[in-house]
Structures are given as structure tokens and as C-alpha cells.
Amino acid sequence: MAQSKVWLLTELAQVEYSLDRSQCWLKACGHQKETLMFTGSQSQMINIRALQNQQLPIAVMVDNYVALHTQFQIPPSAMLGILPVPAAGLQSLIETGQADAWLAKQAS
């Protein structure tokens, strides 16, 4: 388990389900091309549902994640918050190279 972290998500894939639909996964891509995997279960899909249909990019804070070799895994028990920042403003930060500095301010 790690401390809270904020990411700028630029891509969301379609939700994938296990054969019996008891588990699900939502793959996301951050502005630095990092891969995030949000996991859910039949009774705990609130994080995945919160991300669906959001206008991208979005700023997301989680309080629990596991850093794997090339991706971050966010468990269904993680608290997820979508920061109230307009997508156009986040896109401007990414395009002007200011996204990392903005993220650093969110972490402090």
C-alpha cells in the first residue's frame, strides 16, 4: 500500500469483466503514458462507475494503490476522488508542459 497520489488520466478503455462477471477491470492511461488498472468486484464497482463517461482528461486522486513493474493497480477498496478541474484546463496544462508541476502542487 502506498500514500495518496494524483494522476491526470488521458485515456480510458472499456470495462472488462471476468466470465462470471464477479470481477471487472478498467484500464486507464496517464498523461506520462503510465498504465493504471482500476479493479472492481460485483459488489464494489463505485470507482469504475465514477470514471465512466467522464470528459477527458481528468484529475484523479486515490488513497491506495500498488505500484507494479509498468503499471499501478488500484483496488476496489481505494477511495477515489475526481478533482473539480475543467478538462480544457487540464488539457492546456498537458500541452504546455505544466502538468507535472501542477501535479506536484496537488501532492503537497
Per-residue pLDDT tens listing for the chain (108 residues): 457 899 999 999 999 999 999 999 999 999 999 999 999 998 899 999 999 989 999 999 999 999 988 799 999 999 999 999 999 999 999 999 999 999 999 877
Residue that the C-alpha cell 465514477 belongs to: 50
Residue 9 is predicted with a pLDDT of 98
Residues 6+ apart with CB under 8 A from 104: none
Three-state helix/strand/coil letters over 60-92: EEECCCEECCCEEEECCCCCEEECCCCHHHHHH
39 within 8 A of 76, measured Cβ to Cβ: yes
Residue 4 is predicted with a pLDDT of 87
Give the DSSP H or E segment for 102.
helix 99-107
Q: State pTM to two decimals.
A: 0.91
